Chain A
Amino acid sequence: MITAWRSIGGVRWGWFIAFALVLLLWPLAYDTHTATVLLIWALFALSLGFMWGYAGILSFGHSAYFGLGAYVYAISAVNIGESTIPLILAILIPALVAAVIGAMMFYGRISDVYMGVMTLVVSLIMFKFMNATAGDQYAIGDARLGGFNGMPGFPTLNVPGAPHISLWGVPTYYVCAVSLLLCYLLCRWILARSFGRVLLGIRENETRCELLGYNAPAVKTAIFIISAAMAGLSGCYFANWAEIVTPSVFSLQTSSDVIIWTMVGGVGTLIGPILGAMALGMVKLLLGQQTLINNFLVFGAILIVVVLAMPSGVIPAFQKWWGNRSRRSRAPSNGGRARRRLTVKPAERP
């Protein structure tokens, strides 16, 4: 057991436990309903940040899998009447769709820009289609898709095996919190496996990795599937939180929001997207309460400034600053503590 935990390399358990404690106590100090959606967005941003930061794959239409998770949950929950199987489907079906699209892109050896177009177009197709599904003929089982107005009135999460005990409020919050922490650990675990090492290798130099015998398209497709599955899960929680699913889950705004959160938090870290989504999600909710400043204006400006001035994001900049600070303060008596992390010794100055 201990070795299993240790094999999740790179988790700073002190920070992790501190963060988990904050999540545990947060409902005492803050509106639970708002906190829940912030965690859902954090999970969504984690799904994109994992793929973007560690495999170098940027999806311009990640809302496709988020929205798919939401719709699959809503449709199957209406038909089944409880939430356990719909929850699983909301993870599996986005993963399946991602498998098809990912395989098509990565085995087709499509370059960055074209990948951007494809991912964007997939989300647009879903957006257009869902907007056009008003009317009785568009129904899956008992579930009417409802077009532009969306689907209200599906059963929300319940205790597995007990459909009459539904979760609401604080329990839902903790479901989202635990899911977020587990997904974080899952990402860390994947990165610590040899699969994760290959992933980083492909990000740095795909040709070299292939010459070493690794199957780059397969690895990239796999990471795309994992990311889409997490996005689907966050979409499913979002449907539960909002209690209605509308085509706006597929919208360009959803895609651009998650890119901005991830980018600002820091591409190439896992905590960056999480904190970025929570902080900027809060800003988004606050901006939504007033009409003086348009929130597109604010987020557009943020994205431009971050790309130009801080392309690595806030958290990496902070980590660098923190690392410099602690190294400086520890420098005189650095004898005792061996660092577990693999670091490259800086070259001697001439």
Chain B
Amino acid sequence: MDYAGVVFLEIIYMIAFLALTSAGLAVVFGMMRVINLAHGEFVMLGGYTTLTCYKAGINIYFAMLIVAPIVVGLIGLIVERLIIRFLYGRMIDTMLATWGLSLFLIGAVTMIFGSSAVNVPTPISGYELGSYQMGGYNLFIIFVAFAVMAGVWLVLRYTRVGLIARGAMQNAAVASSLGYNPKTVYMITFTAGAALAGLAGGVLAPLTGLLPTSGGAYIAKAFITIVTGGAAVIAGTLSSSVIFGVVSQVVSFASTPVIGEIAMLALAIVLLRLMPQGITGRFFRNST
């Protein structure tokens, strides 16, 4: 029974992890049809921001929830102005340029922080579940992931900003003739996506440890999650997070974590073959 509880919590945690790390990428892809391959590095930068703030004596929750999104959001803004805005409509070129950006950021972080792994201490201690020791911090991550998804949904669905954003994405010409500049909307969307990545990086830093190359661990999972999810930001990310989270954890418990990860990647290939437009290209078509 305890063991079932452990498995259940691990599955929920994995779903939360996938949703949290893909949220920023999903906003950018779903809204702008831009794939940002430097997303993993944005997550990594959020982690390093949290680490730097923590070392400077700033409260760790303030660092991960406020400072990390702001700093990475600003970096995203600079990137959008310098690189992305020249490449709208050229999907493959965008992927290549952001891949270059991801290498560039790995190099820059290696030169600044060194290439050895560093850790941020976990601010929440563990608890006992029957005879198992569980990480209490995982529950915090589940909570944050839920809050992020709910927040993005509420903003997109019920605020004027969200309405303008959805309108500009659906038909840029109409939006601009109504007085909203699509370029500004794209800029803000990309910045928001980067900020979400920074938040994910800050929150996950205590659990995963930090390396300049740790972005690679996020980008592949986030990439397959959002692409399998399809164009709808919330419904797509959630549905594919659930599928991949369940499959990878169940297989991990049945065999090894590596096999679990391979199962998830293989499943992504099969799902893409069956549903080339993603899950929300076939189901939940009218969702956000």
User: Which residues on A are within 8 Å of B, measured CB to CB?
Assistant: 58, 60, 104-105, 108-114, 116-118, 120-122, 124-125, 128-129, 131-132, 252, 256, 259-260, 263, 293-304, 307-308, 311
**A311 engages B104 (CB within 8 Å):** no
Least Cβ–Cβ distance between A56 and chain B, in angstroms? 9
* Contact pick for A263, options B35, B96, B102, CB 8 Å: B96
Number of A-B residue pairs at CB separation under 8 A:
116
**B276 engages A259 (CB within 8 Å):** no
17 contacts between A and B (CB under 8 A): A104-B269, A104-B273, A113-B95, A118-B269, A121-B220, A121-B268, A125-B265, A129-B258, A132-B256, A259-B99, A297-B107, A297-B111, A300-B100, A300-B107, A301-B100, A303-B99, A308-B86
**B104 engages A296 (CB within 8 Å):** yes
Chain B contact-residue range equals 35 or more
**A300 engages B258 (CB within 8 Å):** no
**A110 engages B100 (CB within 8 Å):** no
* Contact pick for A296, options B86, B107, B265, B268, CB 8 Å: B107
Determine the chain A residues whose CB is within 8 A of the CB of B78 once the complex forms.
none
Determine the chain B residues whose CB is within 8 A of the CB of A110 once the complex forms.
272-273, 276
**A117 engages B227 (CB within 8 Å):** yes
Instruction: Give the 6 A-B residue pairs with the shortest CB-CB distance, closest first.
Output: A297-B107, A303-B100, A300-B104, A300-B103, A296-B107, A294-B107
Q: A108-B276, A109-B276, A129-B258 are in contact. Are A252 and B266 (CB under 8 A)?
A: no
**A259 engages B269 (CB within 8 Å):** no
What is the predominant secondary structure among interface residues of chain A facing chain B? helix
**A113 engages B35 (CB within 8 Å):** yes
Least Cβ–Cβ distance between B10 and chain A, in angstroms? 19
Q: Which of B86, B103, B104, B272 has the most CB of A within 10 A?
A: B103
Determine the chain A residues whose CB is within 8 A of the CB of B111 once the complex forms.
293-294, 297
B42-76 residues at the A interface, CB under 8 angstroms: none
Least Cβ–Cβ distance between B216 and chain A, in angstroms? 6
Asked if B108 lies at the interface with its beta carbon under 8 angstroms from chain A, I say: yes
**A307 engages B97 (CB within 8 Å):** yes
**A308 engages B223 (CB within 8 Å):** no
Q: A294-B111, A300-B105, A307-B93 are in contact. Are A124 and B265 (CB under 8 A)?
A: yes
The distance in angstroms between the C-alpha atoms of A210 and B276, with both chains bound, is 20
* Contact pick for B104, options A128, A263, A304, CB 8 Å: A304
Closest to B258 in A: A132
Closest to B115 in A: A294
Determine the chain B residues whose CB is within 8 A of the CB of A58 once the complex forms.
92
